[in-house]
Amino acid sequence: MATYNPAADHSTNFFGDVCNNFDYAAQFTTHDAGLLDQIKSCNSVYRFRFPIRRGNGFEVIDAWRVEHSQHQSPTKGGIRYSEMVNEDEVMALAALMTYKCAIVNVPFGGAKGGIKINPKNYTLQELENITRRYTVELAKKNFIGPSIDVPAPDYGSGEREMSWIADTYATMNPGQLDAMGCVTGKPIALQGIAGRKEATGRGVAIAVRECVSVGEDMQKIGLLPGISGKKVIVQGLGNVGYHSAKFLAEFGALIVGLCEFEGAIYNADGLDIDAVFQHRKATGSILGYPGAKQEFKHSLEGLEQPCDILVPAALENQITIANVKNIKAKIIAEGANGPTSPEAEAIFYANGGMIIPDMYCNAGGVTVSYFEWLKNLSHVAFGRMNRRFEENMNLNMVNMVEGITGVALTPMQRSTIIKGASELELVNSGLEDTMIRSYHEIRETYKNNEKIDTLRTAAFVCAINKVAVSYQNLGVWP
């Protein structure tokens, strides 16, 4: 039995799917219906429109910001720039952010934003005008601020857009000491943090590595434990997909397939992710890459090729009832939000597969965003205060050991042992610890209740319990 009964009548919208999963998991908790309804509902949905100048005329832009839960403050979530974005999608993603933050023990409520545009259709100046006007509209309604609601990059946005948001907010709030904490995912030069750009992809890779390290679970799905030699197909060569593939390869996996909107490539002997990336940068397509043994003009065909692990890291609803029976992977690691439909998930589990759910698997981004927010509030880079102290302590230890043993270490050995941690190393350490602890917390919930049938349900149960405790402790005012 899987999280969702495909025979049941249900809503086909994204937010409806999230709520259905929530309701299914809620039966494994002891909270009353009123509290569960408070947790599930979106607290604030702000839909607005604003004009921009284009040529000699105007264009009206549709935009949203949804704050799903204020059980922790501020709320947190990215801003999506896409022609496909709509209110239902933003509400669903905001809800997933609440549960995601709870799962990885990041003290934020969930939020999400959306601007209904295709960034490729606008000039740089027009994009800047849209982003700054969006920020102003949020500020007018108190939907942004370091202690209120903190946006981040999402599909279609990045460091550049976050810089514009930070500058606009700071300009509108002169003298606010923590103004740069109003948004995360900023460039390092603008009080960003090392490791943020690759954090989501690194988190996906750590989640996969941790999952396949559990021998008991791998035996049930017919795989040997360990990441080494596992064949992986990744959908999406954007920030998340590229870094997921890169770090999985570094951990010892074999990247055999890559899928993008223009098509897919496959080589059972492995693909060089950096070479494919450079080829696409030069030609505009992954097709034609000389190291590929098979090409598919339809991207979704690439998902159906032989592999052990499939990482959908593009958009939602990529694995559906129409193609799930052709998926040959034993594990789906959801790098994107909502890439697997509820019906497809039920079939995949029934066929002996396993899914690492999105709200845990891609939580690396919000985890490191939390670190960036802390850095902005403290106004001190991680490692700056203690790095030299650690190096001096380590040096004294090495000198003492060499004096006692009479064995001199090589310069390379000494420098490796003595070196203090940089900001990047501390960030990666914090991310790895978070992902490992959270996975085993979810797995324990999964294993300790035989009625909980998927990791997604277990993740929802963990999230619901944590959010419920926060609401219970806050009470109701007035």
Residue 210's pLDDT band (cuts 50, 70, 90):
very high
- pLDDT at residue 407 in the model: 92
Give me the mean pLDDT over the 412-441 stretch. Answer: 94
Handedness of CA 344, 347, 353, 358 (dihedral sign): positive
Q: Indicate the average pLDDT of the chain.
A: 94
Give me the mean pLDDT over the 198-210 stretch. Answer: 97
- pLDDT at residue 477 in the model: 83
Residue 241's pLDDT band (cuts 50, 70, 90):
very high
- pLDDT at residue 41 in the model: 96
310: β partners? 233, 332
- pLDDT at residue 13 in the model: 84
Tell whether the model's pLDDT for residue 4 goes beyond 80.
no
- pLDDT at residue 209 in the model: 98
Q: Is 40 a catalytic residue?
A: no
- pLDDT at residue 3 in the model: 42
What is the tens place of the pLDDT at every residue in 5-32? Answer: 333 333 348 899 899 999 999 999 999 9
- pLDDT at residue 2 in the model: 41
- CB-based burial label for 264 (10 Å; 0-12, 13-18, 19+): buried
Give me the mean pLDDT over the 308-319 stretch. Answer: 92
Which one of 112, 330, 375, 466 is the catalytic residue? 112
What is the tens place of the pLDDT at every residue in 92-143? Answer: 999 999 999 999 999 999 999 999 999 999 999 999 999 999 999 999 999 9
What is the tens place of the pLDDT at every residue in 146-162? Answer: 999 999 999 899 999 99
- pLDDT at residue 416 in the model: 87
